[in-house]
Amino acid sequence: GQNIDQPTEMTATEGAIVQINCTYQTSGFNGLFWYQQHAGEAPTFLSYNVLDGLEEKGRFSSFLSRSKGYSYLLLKELQMKDSASYLCAVRDRDSWGKLQFGAGTQVVVTP
């Protein structure tokens, strides 16, 4: 199985940058996902990393280091609408498509 840890809450100012860290332990890593979830809604896919390095997609970037069991999601130029929970999830090599989720990081963007 996997142990996935991420901070519970982070607060940042509109226009700023926030980095959400995620560490994991898994017996057979096969990809890491980041999702955004607004209250009362289903998660929305943000990014997927399976190889080491940085994946950039607009204001959002995600980084992975498999040797360290570490990932981060970087949110730039924060907007009020970015206030949401951000979920880190790991896919196991032996269970294609099956995801283990972290508890989520609640990001609060203030004016």
Partner 1 sequence: GAVVSQHPSRVICKSGTSVKIECRSLDFQATTMFWYRQFPKQSLMLMATSNEGSKATYEQGVEKDKFLINHASLTLSTLTVTSAHPEDSSFYICSADGDRFIPGAFFGQGTRLTVV
With CB under 8 A as the contact rule, which of the stretches 15-23, 55-63, 75-83, 93-101 interacts with partner 1? Answer: 93-101
| Cβ-contact 86, 34 below 8 angstroms | yes
Q: Other C-beta atoms within 10 Å of 14: how many?
A: 13
Among 3, 79, 98, 108, binds partner 1 (CB under 8 A): 98
104 near partner 1 (CB under 8 A):
yes
Q: Other C-beta atoms within 10 Å of 111: how many?
A: 6
With CB under 8 A as the contact rule, which of the stretches 12-20, 35-43, 58-66, 68-76 interacts with partner 1? Answer: 35-43
